[in-house]
Amino acid sequence: MSLKSFHIVFVTFTFLLSAFFAAWAFGFAEERSAFVPFVGWCGVAGLFLSPLYGVYFWKKASKIYL
């Protein structure tokens, strides 16, 4: 597996992990401390930022021949 494809897999994993954190914090967490909403909002931020970064990386990496 090349470094480029590993990076795309890692960004995809980050997106899925962010979705899990957001779903857990806002839907399934039994304990409601101050930390749980923070984790949820970090998950929401990851849902928006990781695809943006993935597109940015894909465009930049397509110009580089590795």
For 8-56, the pLDDT digits (tens) are: 999 999 999 999 999 999 999 988 898 999 999 999 999 999 999 999 9
What single DSSP character describes residue 63?
T
pLDDT (average), residues 3-11: 92
Q: Cα–Cα distance between 38 and 28 in angstroms, integer?
A: 14
pLDDT for 16: 98
Q: Residue 66 — very low, low, confident or very high, per pLDDT cuts 50/70/90?
A: low
Burial degree of 25 (CB within 10 A; 0-12, 13-18, 19+): buried
Tell me how far apart the alpha carbons of residues 21 and 40 are, in angstroms, rounded to a whole number: 6
From the number of C-beta atoms within 10 Å of its C-beta (0-12, 13-18, 19+), residue 51 rates as: middle
